[in-house]
Amino acid sequence: METKTKLLPWIVTCVGLSAAAEVNAQPTPTLKRLEGAWVPDGARCKDVFFRQGTTINFARPGATTRDGILVAGTRIRDPKNACTISKTREVGETQTLLLTCFSGLLISKISFSIRFQDEDTVVRSLSDFPEEKATFRRCRV
């Protein structure tokens, strides 16, 4: 259950939701910095992702045990969901993101904040529960 809780805010990748989302977010320097493949602390990149030419893919799309996140521009996805970053707000080193997500049946909005610890480590906290944090590492696939 803890893994689902950690990933829920990230588990949204809006691959085809531009029509459903109010896409006000433009790729900011922070969003550009966030682009790539990410796994939670403790997960192994090679178990989650593989490279096919210039594209990074999930090793087993649809598998609920895969914890990875792919970020490209204003889109975020995990093996089962797709989201579009609808809005962003930056306060100091913290960026708050509002996502419009599609899970196959439902469209929902999720908000969370991110803060970079270094170039390859980001800390995500839930907007309503800032004490709930998760650390993600960038994968060099």
Query: Which pLDDT tens digit goes with each residue over 52-100?
Result: 999 998 887 655 566 889 999 999 998 878 999 999 999 888 999 999 9
Residue 20: pLDDT band with limits 50, 70, 90: very low
What is the residue range of 44's domain? Answer: 2-139
Residue 35: pLDDT band with limits 50, 70, 90: very high
Q: How far is CA 16 from CA 42, 93, 101, in A?
A: 31, 30, 10
CB neighbours of residue 50 within 10 Å? 15
| Res 63: pLDDT | 59
Give the separation between CA 79 and CA 18, rounded to whole angstroms.
19
> Total domain count for the chain?
1
Among 15, 28, 24, residue whose Cα is nearest residue 114:
28
Say whether pLDDT at 3 is over 90. Answer: no
| Res 62: pLDDT | 57
